[in-house]
Amino acid sequence: MQTHCFALLAILFLAEFAHAGEIEIAAGKHAYPAGTTVVSCEVPATMSPDQRIVELVDESDNRVIAQRDGSQLFWMLEEPLAARETRTYKAIADSATETESVTCEIKDG
């Protein structure tokens, strides 16, 4: 399975804040698949400086978790984004649950 990191350039370039607390992404002339396309944008000014994780919801009530890395938020597309389609996300105010870390363990068998 290929991760479409190149999609970042097309989507990120067009990612903008539609209104305070909203993030709008636009596909441009290419379509992007769900589950393998990474999206990123600048951290909204409304987000606390120590908040690393935020839950986003789009206009169809699809929810996705975005993770902060410095001044950027990253998440995976939860639904395909067709060519020339736009999608608007809003941060859910009460989604500021924090954990100290996430640990993954790979076990044989």
For residue 14, the model assigns a pLDDT of 42
- Report whether 6 contacts 28 (CB < 8 A): no
In whole angstroms, what is the distance from residue 78 CA to residue 100 CA? 25
Residue 47 has pLDDT above 60, yes or no: yes
Q: Which of the four pLDDT bands, split at 50, 70 and 90, describes residue 32?
A: very high
Q: Is the dihedral of CA 8, 13, 19, 24 positive or negative?
A: negative
For residue 29, the model assigns a pLDDT of 92
Statement: the pTM of the whole predicted model exceeds 0.95: no
